[in-house]
């Protein structure tokens, strides 16, 4: 049973808890609290209440008929996580963990954020549950994403720019871990993806697996069958594992995780840890990471901040090794094409992260039969990205013009 992992904190050989000793008791406390509340009906009812009444679950499974007709291949369905409060799947996890923290009696929540999506998700959950939120954000991202910083502050969070290392997401995680070590008794670390030391990858997966459970039920109601393929983007891997988990033992459902190919895998400027990484230890887990031959973690690139991470959740590393899931990469350019297509054909502006999945699903649909079914997890909405896309298009149009002028 693939669904029974992790076993002893490991997904096959991946996962584990490579953490400083000070965190060992805190991780143990977290493990036993999670074990207790996972099966506690009161906890589950309360979480379910917030997910339904506050966040907007269940989300629709929408048949993208215009896009499907245009491509002329398999039917494409969209799992509309973009319609959730906050605009992304992130809130499934932040509500779950914040509620757990509250039950554990921890009033101070810390979190990392890249561009600000998880920071905003954390700030929202803490505001509604009456917890205090402090967010670590790489100094570079802090500068680039001023509006998201303000958004978090509006929601009552404090945001700290992290000036160490490459000043981006991975350093924000490092700094959150350091803060946790210093304030271990009072503080709950609310990690933003299915990454980090055990039990985080399992816990985040469990909180996100509501996505896949709903897909299974909805597609059954609409089509009376299982989908042929699921497609989801992979940064740390939380929306993807949340979509896949319920289907792991349905071997006929092909699972595709789509990473950020950036400027192309061969350019070295990408964030495709599974497609182009190697085994290593980062942020407390043994997984696939992007590193040099000496074991130093390298800088990554993606047009979408949410995929710009040099590691990936250990469960994906296992699923890749077992060939249960397939992992591909879409480039920046391909993601932009997916973004434009969904905006024009369906009137849905997707976030750049799931645009990678859309682009891949479009290619897949063309190769599949007309009555095949693909479900794409639309993990977030694209309002946050319109400026980036505008810049990208302006730059590319300029290039085209100069080419034409010659």
Partner 1 sequence: MQNRIAEKFRELAEKGESALICYVVAGYPDTGTSKQVINALVNGGADIIEVGIPFSDPIADGPTIQAASNAALRKGMTPEKALHLVSNVRKQHPSLPLFAMTYSNILVRAGIEKFMSESKQSGLDGFILPDMPIEEADIYSLTASKLDLATVFLVSPNTPEARLRKIVASTTGFIYVVSVYGITGARNSFQKYTLDTIRAVKQVSGAKVPVAVGFGISTPAHVKSIIAAGAEAVIIGSAVINKMSDESGKKMLEDLRNFARSMKKACKNE
Ligand X SMILES: Cc1ncc(COP(=O)(O)O)c(C=O)c1O
- Select 118 or 283, whichever has its Cβ closest to partner 1: 283
The yes or no reply on residue 280 touching partner 1 (CB under 8 A) is: yes
Q: Choose among partner 1, ligand X, none what residue 185 binds, the Cβ cut-off being 5 to 8 Å by kind.
A: partner 1
CB of 135 to partner 1, least distance (A): 18
238 binds, among partner 1, ligand X, none (CB under 5 to 8 A by kind): ligand X
Partner from partner 1, ligand X, none contacting 117, C-beta within 5 to 8 A by type: ligand X
CB of 178 to ligand X, least distance (A): 22
State yes or no: residue 296 binds partner 1 (CB under 8 A). Answer: yes
Q: Which of 298, 304, 378, 262 is nearest to 145 (CA)?
A: 304
Instruction: Choose the contact partner of 181 out of partner 1, ligand X, none; CB within 5 to 8 A by kind.
Output: partner 1
Tell the smallest beta-carbon distance from residue 282 to partner 1 (Å). Answer: 6
Q: Identify residues 4-33 at the interface with partner 1 (CB under 8 A).
A: 9, 16-22, 24-26
Rule CB under 8 A: is residue 49 a binding residue for partner 1?
A: no
φ and ψ of 86, to 5 deg: 95, -20
- Annotated catalytic residues are 90, 112, 379
C-alpha closest to that of 219 among 338, 69, 344, 61: 61
Q: Which does 291 bind (CB under 5 to 8 A by kind): ligand X, partner 1, none?
A: partner 1
Of 61 and 234, which CB lies nearer to ligand X in the complex structure?
234
Residue 355 binds: one of ligand X, partner 1, none (C-beta under 5 to 8 A by kind): none
Q: Is 182 in the site for partner 1 (CB under 8 A)?
A: yes
Give the binding range for partner 1 (CB under 8 A) out of 126-134, 177-185, 209-217, 331-339. Answer: 177-185
Nearer to partner 1, 57 or 283 (CB): 283
Helix pair 90-103, 41-49: axis angle to 10 deg: 140
Q: Summarize as ranges the residues that interact with ligand X (CB under 6 A).
A: 88, 114, 117-118, 193, 233-240, 306-307, 351, 353-354, 379-380
Distance between CA atoms of 21 and 228, rounded to whole angstroms? Answer: 45
Exposure string (b/e) for 346-356, b if CB count within 10 Å is 16 or more? bebbbbbbbbb
Residue 21 interacts, among partner 1, ligand X, none and using kind-specific CB cut-offs from 5 to 8 Å, with partner 1
How open is the CA angle 335-338-342, to the nearest 5 degrees? Answer: 145
- Write the interaction track for partner 1 spanning residues 146-175; mark x where CB under 8 A is met and - where it is not: ------------------xx----xx--x-
C-alpha span between 256 and 234 (Å, rounded):
9
Pick the closer one to ligand X by CB: 9 or 354.
354
- Do residues 85 and 352 make contact, with C-beta atoms less than 8 angstroms apart? no
Rounded-to-integer distance, Cα 366 and Cα 75, Å = 10
Least CB distance from residue 239 to partner 1, whole Å?
24
- C-beta of 351: minimal distance to ligand X in Å? 4
Binding site for partner 1 (CB under 8 A): 9, 16-22, 24-26, 164-165, 170-171, 174, 177-178, 181-185, 278-284, 286, 289, 291, 293-297
């Amino acid at each position: 049973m693939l669904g029974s992992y992790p076993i002893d904190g490991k997904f096959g050989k991946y996962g584990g808890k490579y953490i400083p000793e000070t965190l060992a008791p805190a991780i143990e406390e977290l493990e036993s609290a999670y074990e207790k509340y996972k099966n506690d009906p009161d906890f589950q009812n309360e979480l379910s209440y917030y997910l339904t009444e506050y966040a907007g679950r269940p989300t629709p499974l929408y048949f993208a008929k215009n896009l499907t007709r245009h491509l002329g291949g398999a039917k494409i369905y969209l799992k509309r996580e973009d319609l959730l409060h906050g605009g992304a799947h992130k809130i499934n996890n932040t509500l779950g963990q914040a509620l757990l923290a509250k039950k554990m009696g921890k009033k101070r929540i810390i979190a990392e954020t890249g561009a600000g999506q998880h920071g905003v998700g954390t700030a929202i959950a803490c505001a509604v549950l009456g917890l205090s939120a402090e967010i670590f954000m790489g100094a570079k991202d802090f500068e680039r994403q001023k509006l998201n910083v303000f958004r978090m502050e509006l929601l009552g969070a404090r945001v700290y720019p992290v000036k160490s290392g490459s000043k981006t997401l991975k350093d924000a995680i490092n700094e959150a871990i350091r803060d946790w070590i210093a304030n271990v008794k009072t503080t709950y670390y609310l990690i933003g993806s299915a990454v980090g030391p055990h039990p985080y990858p399992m816990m985040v997966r469990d909180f996100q697996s509501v996505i896949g459970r709903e897909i299974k039920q909805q597609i059954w109601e609409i089509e009376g069958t299982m989908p042929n393929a699921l497609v989801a983007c992979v940064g740390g891997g939380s929306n993807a594992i949340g979509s896949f988990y319920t289907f792991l033992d349905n071997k006929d459902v092909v699972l595709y995780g789509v990473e950020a190919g950036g400027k192309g895998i061969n350019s070295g400027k990408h964030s495709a840890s599974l497609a182009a990484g190697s085994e290593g230890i980062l942020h407390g887990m043994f997984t696939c990471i992007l590193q040099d031959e000496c074991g130093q973690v390298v800088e990554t690139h993606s047009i979408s901040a949410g995929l710009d991470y040099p590691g990936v959740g250990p469960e994906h590393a296992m699923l890749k090794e077992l060939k249960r899931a397939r992992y591909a990469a879409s480039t920046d350019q391909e993601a932009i094409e997916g973004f434009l297509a969904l905006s024009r054909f369906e009137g849905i502006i997707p976030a750049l992260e799931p645009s990678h999945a859309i682009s891949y699903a479009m290619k897949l649909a063309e190769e599949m039969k007309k009555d095949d079914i693909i479900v794409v997890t639309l993990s977030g909405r694209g309002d946050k990205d319109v400026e980036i896309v505008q810049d990208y298009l302006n730059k590319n149009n300029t290039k085209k013009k100069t080419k034409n002028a010659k």
